[in-house]
Structure 1
């Protein structure tokens, strides 16, 4: 973790707000969120009153059972931000505000409940379920070998920059039906968009325009891909809804799967339990992935549930319109269900890494397949791979929502690129329309305003 010292009490960046409530932003929260969760648990129990960006009041749900209670009961805890009391009282959070993406309603599955949500989720979930796991594995093998070939002859690599951040996007490009040439461009554009860099606006514009063109071309020539299946789904999504949900899946899958791959590789390379067990054959890689999903889930906190009526949760009196944040990472280490964190959790998938209830992540099996297969290929190609720095020297950056490894430097015996057997061709999308048959249209007007919230949802501030 970063070794940046904490500012003294009273400094605006310190953890406590003017009314004494704990801030969930700033140096303390970003440096060591797990320590902060445990401090709050010790003081308040399973549900803690906190302040989020701008010192806005909210409740942080820390208990495992309490997380499940909120996630599984949309009648008491809505996903629609219009329920928030601040909104009903006329307060407007600016789009530029850190909470803007989380409290601004849009007609996508993230911000709906009831019939609208059911219609949209059925289209997304049923379309994602049409992918064959073996077909996904072939895509992952193909791109994992390509990425490894780029650095295998050097004997050194940064597995964050050169592997974990690239592999998910290359695979997802194929799954949404985009042509191959967009893969490397999306590998650069999506992370840039999420980082909020000086070129983030241009990257966001590129992603939206590319997806707009993709939808238009798929209307002319369907393929074996997510975009085509959403267009054809009986839920009859509009073109804008198709574009929005392809974008949701693309960006969310990238952000979470890249984090999952990096965290799993780190544990495989540094934790004696995994290193010994994997080499000895007593623990499978899927078992290791599940352990990581318990101990270091890709998403720490899901921001945005709102109480639909006065209620009691974890001994706290929650008022109608109050905002709640689901701390998945804290729930996973709740002493009520895991009194001994040193114990492995083989075969236990009751973690909260993908949330729960109706809004549980619909693409979790695809994320697992990408991470599992990609790491499997890497370890097979580079069996003597070793971390070149001590685990304590690895740093992370992020926000309340997630923490990401900055780098994962490794060394191994150099090998000849392309020495591994070529991956079998991946059955998948039909060829993208050729220039002669493609439908060429102008980019949508004001693309920046179409779905700006999603990029900022993961943005590190």
Structure 2
């Protein structure tokens, strides 16, 4: 709508209409929370493989929905950088420091926020640290904490496998890897969830995470141990304290939220399919095959933040301007009818899904997450006899935010 002077106020402010030339849909709010797949498939139908959207605060972005277009963005950092310092809306003051988008999209001195040589230097340190941590007993930690979490409800005959198991187990393993005490790991679950959920508390929780990790770094300088924090501090790449904290934050948030979400979805699939459940219990079916199926159909991050166009270009039939934000619809890309015309066909053995991102920024901790999930499922199925859903499958619900769709609850019963 024009103002009284007959001018378009959006053109002056750089609003989404001015950026995209059309009315974008909101990638947040009640419609998305209830039916994220419906929202994204409507956008695909209306706009094709790339659609204009609004993020929280009505910040404009392009949602990339097509599988091949997502691969193009991931594989070409010179065209689509992860460096948010060129994000035009933030650079021109339309995204405040208090925006819930900043914890997910803002620039930090970590490997995710940079490309080229700075990225290689920092990612090498993280990869080395994670490999060393995995070699020092991630599976042992996962087995220990899986049994400990199950002990808390094993005598009751019932549990919610989201709030009693999947939400906490990955965090307990990750905090052990980082060198944090168990109690702090349990406290950090809520903060990580709030950062992904967004809203007015996202920045507050993000600051809390950084304060806890900053104190950890100070402690590990004088009390080194066999943990990721010590490994980053001692790495030949010579990370400074801010870089170490930023990478610990990255591993904590990304590792916990994706692994807990994926674990919940794997358990949901197993418990709503008696053939899969009996196959896992008998050993005829491998957990990794179930994990692979879930990564195709319910990737733990539905939308990946974010990339920024380094020049004016065309993608998916749309003109994108230098400094525009693009967010990548990993779930929608995995459903792209151009590559999966029949989504009912088995994807077993096909690892070309988008769940781990791709290109230079592909997730470096994928093996650790998968190991945690495999141990978590194996221990659960062997500890609890006659494990079964306590509600009909169609009563299971999910809630979506901009970046993820999480299972609300997974109530089960079992024999004691």
Q: Report the TM-score, using the length of structure 2 for normalisation.
A: 0.88
Cα shift readout 1:73-110 (whole Å, capped 9, x = no counterpart): 1000011112223345x234112223233443222223
Find out whether 1:212 has 2:214 as its counterpart.
yes
Find out whether 1:24 has 2:15 as its counterpart.
no
Alignment of 1:205-354 (within 5 A): 207-272=209-274, 274-275=276-277, 277-279=279-281, 281-354=283-356
- With over 3 angstroms needed to count, the CA separation of the structure-2 counterparts of 1:136 and 1:35, relative to structure 1, is same
Task: Figure out how many residues of one structure are paired with residues of the other and give that number.
Answer: 398
- With over 3 angstroms needed to count, the CA separation of the structure-2 counterparts of 1:94 and 1:279, relative to structure 1, is same
Kept in 2, the 8 Å contact 1:81–1:104? The answer is: yes
Match of residue 161, structure 2, among 151, 159, 165 = 159
Deviation at 1:205, TM superposition (A): 6.1
Kept in 2, the 8 Å contact 1:144–1:377? The answer is: yes
Deviation at 1:124, TM superposition (A): 1.0
Kept in 2, the 8 Å contact 1:93–1:103? The answer is: no
- State the alpha-carbon separation in 1 of the partners of residues 295 and 383 from structure 2: 25
- Residue in 2 aligned with 1:79? 82
- State the alpha-carbon separation in 2 of the partners of residues 357 and 309 from structure 1: 20
Cα shift readout 1:181-208 (whole Å, capped 9, x = no counterpart): 5344444654467667999888666544
- Residue in 2 aligned with 1:59? 62
- Residue in 1 aligned with 2:3? none
- Residue in 2 aligned with 1:443? none
- State the alpha-carbon separation in 2 of the partners of residues 262 and 75 from structure 1: 36
- State the alpha-carbon separation in 2 of the partners of residues 315 and 198 from structure 1: 35
- Residue in 2 aligned with 1:35? 38
Alignment of 1:83-102 (within 5 A): 83-88=86-91, 90-102=92-104
Q: Name stretches of at least 5 consecutive residues in structure 1 with no aligned partner.
A: 1-15, 415-461
- State the alpha-carbon separation in 2 of the partners of residues 199 and 113 from structure 1: 30
Deviation at 1:325, TM superposition (A): 1.0
Worse-superposed segment, 206-215 or 253-262: 206-215
Secondary structure, aligned partner of 2:226? coil
The structure with the largest helix share of the pair is 2
- State the alpha-carbon separation in 2 of the partners of residues 249 and 31 from structure 1: 29
Deviation at 1:280, TM superposition (A): 5.7
Find out whether 1:370 has 2:383 as its counterpart.
no
Deviation at 1:380, TM superposition (A): 0.9
- Residue in 1 aligned with 2:14? none
- State the alpha-carbon separation in 1 of the partners of residues 258 and 286 from structure 2: 21
Deviation at 1:300, TM superposition (A): 0.4
- State the alpha-carbon separation in 1 of the partners of residues 36 and 135 from structure 2: 35
Kept in 2, the 8 Å contact 1:170–1:187? The answer is: no
- With over 3 angstroms needed to count, the CA separation of the structure-2 counterparts of 1:124 and 1:310, relative to structure 1, is same
Kept in 1, the 8 Å contact 2:192–2:205? The answer is: yes
- State the alpha-carbon separation in 2 of the partners of residues 297 and 198 from structure 1: 26
- Residue in 1 aligned with 2:401? 399
Deviation at 1:403, TM superposition (A): 1.1
Cα shift readout 1:369-398 (whole Å, capped 9, x = no counterpart): 111111110011114111111122112223
- Residue in 1 aligned with 2:53? 50
- State the alpha-carbon separation in 2 of the partners of residues 172 and 269 from structure 1: 26
- With over 3 angstroms needed to count, the CA separation of the structure-2 counterparts of 1:285 and 1:317, relative to structure 1, is same
- With over 3 angstroms needed to count, the CA separation of the structure-2 counterparts of 1:369 and 1:54, relative to structure 1, is same
- Residue in 2 aligned with 1:11? none
Secondary structure, aligned partner of 2:137? helix
Cα shift readout 1:296-335 (whole Å, capped 9, x = no counterpart): 0110001221111122222322222222110000011111
